[in-house]
Amino acid sequence: MARSQNHASFPAYRPRRLRAQPALRDMVRENTLTPADLIWPVFVMDGQDDAHPIASMPGVSRHTVDRLPALAAKARSLGIPAICIFPYTNPAFKTQDCAEAWNPDNLSNRAIKAIKSAVPDIMVMTDIALDPYNINGQDGIVRAGEIVNDETVAALVKMGESQAQSGADILGPSDMMDGRIAALRGMLEQKGFQNVNILSYSAKYASGFYGPFRDAVGAASVLIGDKNTYQMDPANSNEAMRMIARDLSEGADLVMVKPGMPYLDICQRAKAEFQVPTFAYQVSGEYAMLKAAAQNGWLDGRQVMLESLMAFKRAGCDGVLTYFAPEVAEILLRKL
Ligand code: PBG
Q: Work out the angle between the directed axes of helices 325-335 and 68-77 (0-180°, nearest 10).
A: 30
Selection from 40, 3, 14, 32 nearest residue 281 by Cα: 40
CA of residue 177 to ligand 1 center, whole Å: 14
Q: State how far the Cα of 130 lies from the Cα of 324, in Å rounded to an integer.
A: 26
161 lines ligand 1 (CB under 6 A): no
CB-CB contact of 224 with 138 (8 Å)? yes
Output the CA torsion 260→263→267→269 (10° steps).
Answer: 180
Domain 32-335 has what CATH class? alpha beta
Determine the pLDDT at residue 2.
Answer: 62
CB-CB contact of 306 with 325 (8 Å)? no
3-state secondary structure of 298: coil
The one-letter amino acid at 327: E
Q: Are strands 146-147 and 142-143 parallel, antiparallel or unpaired?
A: antiparallel
191 part of the active site: no
Burial of 248 (0-12, 13-18, 19+ CB in 10 A): middle
291 part of the active site: no
174 lines ligand 1 (CB under 6 A): yes
Selection from 315, 179, 196 nearest residue 260 by Cα: 315
3-state secondary structure of 115: helix
Q: Which atom of ligand 1 is nearest to the CA of 283?
A: 15
User: What are the DSSP calls for 245-286, one per residue?
Assistant: HHHHHHT-SEEEEES-GGGHHHHHHHHHHH-S-EEEEE-HHH
Mutate to test the pocket of ligand 1, among 283, 290, 321 (most ligand atoms within 8 A of CB): 283
Name the DSSP letter for residue 205: B
Q: State how far the Cα of 117 lies from the Cα of 69, in Å rounded to an integer.
A: 8
Distances in Å between the Cα of 303 and the Cα atoms of 84, 132, 152, 280, 291 are 25, 34, 42, 20, 11
37 lines ligand 1 (CB under 6 A): no
Task: Give this prediction's pTM.
Answer: 0.96
215 lines ligand 1 (CB under 6 A): no
Determine the pLDDT at residue 4.
Answer: 63
- Closest CA to ligand 1's atom 11: 210
Q: State how far the Cα of 282 lies from the Cα of 57, in Å rounded to an integer.
A: 13
CA of residue 13 to ligand 1 center, whole Å: 48
Name the DSSP letter for residue 93: G
CA of residue 213 to ligand 1 center, whole Å: 6
Q: Which atom of ligand 1 is nearest to the CA of 284?
A: 15
CA of residue 26 to ligand 1 center, whole Å: 36
Determine the pLDDT at residue 220.
Answer: 76
Run of H or E including 21? none
The Cβ of residue 293 has, within 10 Å, a number of other Cβ atoms equal to: 14
Q: State how far the Cα of 289 lies from the Cα of 194, in Å rounded to an integer.
A: 40
Name the DSSP letter for residue 316: T
Q: What is the pLDDT along the chain (336 residues), one digit of tens a residue?
A: 566 677 899 999 999 999 999 999 999 999 999 999 999 999 999 999 999 999 999 999 999 999 999 999 999 999 999 999 999 999 999 999 999 999 999 999 999 999 999 999 999 999 999 999 999 999 999 999 999 999 999 999 999 999 999 999 999 999 999 999 999 999 999 999 999 999 999 999 999 999 999 888 887 778 889 999 999 999 999 999 999 999 999 999 999 999 999 999 999 999 999 999 999 999 999 999 999 999 999 999 999 999 999 999 999 999 999 999 999 999 999 876
3-state secondary structure of 59: coil
CA of residue 219 to ligand 1 center, whole Å: 10
Active-site residue among 113, 116, 258, 271?
258
**Domain residue spans of the chain:** 32-335
286 lines ligand 1 (CB under 6 A): no
Please enumerate, as own/partner, the contacts of 73-77 that have beta carbons within 8 Å and a separation of 24 or more.
Answer: 73/118, 73/119, 73/122, 74/326, 75/40, 75/122, 75/325, 75/326, 75/329, 76/119, 76/121, 76/122
Mutate to test the pocket of ligand 1, among 180, 202, 213, 290 (most ligand atoms within 8 A of CB): 213
129 lines ligand 1 (CB under 6 A): yes
Output the CA torsion 22→24→29→33 (10° steps).
Answer: 40
CA of residue 179 to ligand 1 center, whole Å: 20
Active-site residue among 204, 227, 271, 313?
204
Mutate to test the pocket of ligand 1, among 210, 284, 308 (most ligand atoms within 8 A of CB): 210
CA of residue 334 to ligand 1 center, whole Å: 31
